């Protein structure tokens, strides 16, 4: 099976169009890209998950999340992040971190 790696910025924009209330990424030892995106929805994102799995060639994980998060359901999938163009501050391994992408000219 061919697995496509997709940039976080692209898929987060698409997830937002499908109603995601929050998008973030984290490092992952299990992902073939080294990173996993997490998209939070207030409703079961069946259409988004099915369509996206068909595009990238692998299943995406959809979980029901207990109260306290930004949404009721979370979709996880492997993504790539633009190396060298991300500034991270705070956070910890396994925690959620907000990311701001800066153009290379900002460095």
Q: Is residue 48 assigned to a domain? A: yes
Based on DSSP, count helices (H) and strands (E) in the chain, helices before strands. Answer: 2, 6
* Phi/psi at 62 (5° precision): -115, 125
Q: Is residue 1 part of a domain?
A: no
Per-chain mean pLDDT for the chain: 77
Q: How many CB atoms lie within 10 A of CB 77?
A: 25
Who's near 49: CB < 8 A, 6+ residues apart? 60, 62, 75
Q: What is the pTM of this model?
A: 0.69
Q: How many domains does the chain have?
A: 1
Nearest-angstrom CA–CA distance, 67 and 21:
14
How much is the CA Rg of the chain, to the nearest whole Å? 14
Q: For residue range 23-32, what is the model confidence (pLDDT) as tens digits?
A: 888 888 777 7
Pair 4, 77: CB distance under 8 Å:
no
pLDDT > 90: what percent of the chain?
Answer: 10
Specify whether the CB–CB gap between 101 and 85 falls below 8 A: yes
Please report whether residue 28 resides in a domain: yes
In the predicted model, is pLDDT for residue 85 greater than 70?
no
For range 63-78, the mean pLDDT: 84
């Amino acid at each position: 099976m061919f697995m496509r790696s997709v940039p976080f910025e692209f898929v987060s924009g698409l997830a937002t169009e499908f109603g995601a209330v929050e998008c973030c990424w984290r490092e992952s030892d299990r992902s073939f890209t080294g990173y996993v995106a997490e998209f939070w929805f207030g409703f079961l994102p069946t259409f988004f998950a099915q369509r996206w799995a068909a595009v990238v060639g692998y299943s995406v994980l959809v979980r029901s999340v207990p109260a306290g998060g930004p949404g009721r359901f979370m979709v996880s999938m492997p993504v790539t992040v633009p190396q060298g163009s991300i500034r991270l501050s705070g956070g910890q391994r396994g925690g959620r971190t907000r990311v701001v992408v800066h153009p290379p000219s900002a460095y």
